[in-house]
Chains A and B, each alone.
Chain A
């Protein structure tokens, strides 16, 4: 079965992988909306959605059957799992009005444009690693749709396109609030993109030795945190996560990530107390849910990149890379080093980290009030940008001195 898969033509394998990733991303992004409601509820000492269950007629459906399993069913009901299906069904089947005053073509295009970058960036994000035999020697290979050397550049380039959807939606809606939301989103993106990009540069300064082979690959960024990256070796860095030796970078990246994904406290684009719902004021039903899903997809990708760069990727703990874990596990489990098992362990660890990040996003959202618009600009241009430049200069000098 496993060998059969590897003997498929590359294009078939890539399509299968892409479908697998999208089939994973879509429900997870939807589940995040549920998680958001539950986390919000628990933070406010409420139970959150805990009533929905498939009706008796739903006994014919998988959800209806699962809901009737003793203990498990009521537990899932308490967790609001079935609410997810109800929400999804509602968004899919309810009337999808297009207001008369909008520019119809761009109005309908905007949610599609929102989804495309959100799902495209996954292609270059590695989610795990496995041992593969290439040319007779065993090397660690990433589990990734497209293992390209420009991984990070691709993520930045494509994910920034997401803001076009917001601007397009805001402009096509032909409404003041939506327009202001779009304008705010674009201004905010420009302000924080700079700081974000500058904050990750030190990470790649560590990796790329002058005159050596250059890379922007996210897999190599994790390899560096494994302590096995060949570019620049420093014994004390072995297995150390980026956040320990680049805390300022990690902090700036995280703050900018909140701004890039339009999450509270930076949710200027949809500030509901000021702009009704911002750029998606005029949207409803399925088109609105696409925006919603795109936001969560962006959060997932953003957290994934942050984890790859600063939080050790699929390594379970600092100083304990996946390879060490697998070596240790193989004392107990004979097939631990099998690509399938190792891949699943790596993906499991990585997805676990992504979920903790998503929780952190929600936690922050329900803790902090929204910044005022001028405060957002002030923070972006006068605080984060100088800080990230100073950070870059500091690491450039430091690395230059260390490499002498």
Chain B
């Protein structure tokens, strides 16, 4: 193994007194003393959330206001800490969205268990669950930390949808050429 001998310069007298270095250090700290602060004043100023940030998981509606989740329960199965609990339900025949057939009766995400891994978003075939920008969750009780369906839709809101596949399916059925 090659050994590289590093020539160590002997310290000069000025360096051995520490004084030039100390003055240099004082100069550096003095410059910082007069620089503006870089601290984010948190509750008033919010951090800029980068694109693709994985915040609190939320449920979203499509631009027509239809809830996208069809309660397939894939997210429930894939969730590593078992934070998601879905009670599947039928969509009533009178509804405009009767052709979607199923929707969640109840959808609870326990934020005390959630690890923000994003697998639910990854696995969702309906693009119904998204980890969005919300990053601060707090509550006084454990029950408060469980997001129910209303809360999840409130946090999620509406996201644009390129496919609108259920609308296309309905249109196709009406024109008699399903599949």
Contacts and interface: CB of A to CB of B under 8 A. Distances in A.
A294 to B, nearest CB: 26
B38 to A, nearest CB: 5
B37 A42 contact: yes
B39 A47 contact: yes
Please report whether the interface of chain B is mostly helix, strand, loop or mixed according to DSSP.
helix
Contact of B32 (A45, A47, A364, A368): A45
Contacts of B37: 41-42, 45-47
A185 B142 CA distance: 50
Contacts of B32: 42-45
A46 B39 CA distance: 6
A150 to B, nearest CB: 34
B74 interface: no
A43 B30 CA distance: 7
Interface residues of B, number: 15
Contact of B33 (A42, A47, A364, A368): A42
A204 interface: no
Contacts of A41: 37
Given A44-B32, A45-B32, A363-B29, A368 B38 contact: no
A39 B29 CA distance: 10
Contacts of A42: 32-34, 37
B35 interface: yes
Nearest to A383: B17
A43 B33 contact: yes
A367 interface: yes
Contacts of B33: 39, 42-43, 363
B25 interface: yes
B26 A364 contact: yes
B22 interface: yes
B39 A367 contact: no
A43 B28 CA distance: 9
A366 interface: yes
Contacts of A368: 22, 25
A114 B36 CA distance: 38
Contacts of B22: 367-368
Interface in B31-50: 32-39, 41
A46 B41 CA distance: 10
Contacts of A44: 32
Contacts of B36: 45
Query: Chain A CB within 10 Å — which of B22, B32, B33 has the most?
Result: B33
Contacts of A366: 29
A367 B38 contact: no
A368 B37 CA distance: 21
Interface in B16-72: 22, 25-26, 28-30, 32-39, 41
B32 to A, nearest CB: 5
B29 to A, nearest CB: 4
Contact of B25 (A39, A45, A46, A367): A367
B29 A367 contact: yes
Contacts of A47: 37, 39, 41
Contact of A367 (B28, B34, B35, B41): B28
Contacts of B39: 45-47
Interface string A44-72: 11110000000000000000000000000
A45 B35 CA distance: 7
Contact of B30 (A45, A46, A363): A363
Contacts of B25: 367-368
Task: Rank and list the top 7 A-B pairs by shortest CB-CB distance, nearest first.
Answer: A367-B29, A367-B25, A47-B37, A43-B29, A45-B38, A42-B33, A46-B39
17 contacts: A39-B33, A42-B32, A42-B33, A42-B37, A45-B36, A45-B37, A45-B38, A45-B39, A46-B38, A363-B29, A363-B30, A363-B33, A366-B29, A367-B25, A367-B26, A368-B22, A368-B25
Interface of B: 22, 25-26, 28-30, 32-39, 41
Given A41-B37, A43-B33, A46-B38, 18 more contacts: A42-B32, A42-B33, A42-B37, A43-B32, A45-B37, A45-B38, A46-B37, A46-B39, A47-B39, A47-B41, A363-B29, A363-B30, A363-B33, A366-B29, A367-B22, A367-B25, A367-B26, A368-B25
